[in-house]
Structure 1
Amino acid sequence: MAKYLISFPSAAMVVPNGELEAVGRDAHAVIEEAKAAGVYIFGGGIDESVPPVLISANGSVAKGGYPWAPRLDGGFTVLDLPSREEAVAWAARIAKACRCDQELRVFGFDPQS
Structure 2
Amino acid sequence: MKNLIYILTILAIVSCSGKEERPKGILSEEKMALILSDIYYAEYKANNINVGPDSAETVLRHYELKIFEDHGTNDSVYKESFKYYLEYPQKLEKVYDIVIDTVSLREQIQNAKK
Q: TM-score, normalised by structure 2?
A: 0.31
Greater share of helix: 2
Asked which structure has the greater RCO (Cα within 8 Å, sep 6+), the reply is 1
Higher alpha-carbon Rg: 1
Greater share of strand: 1
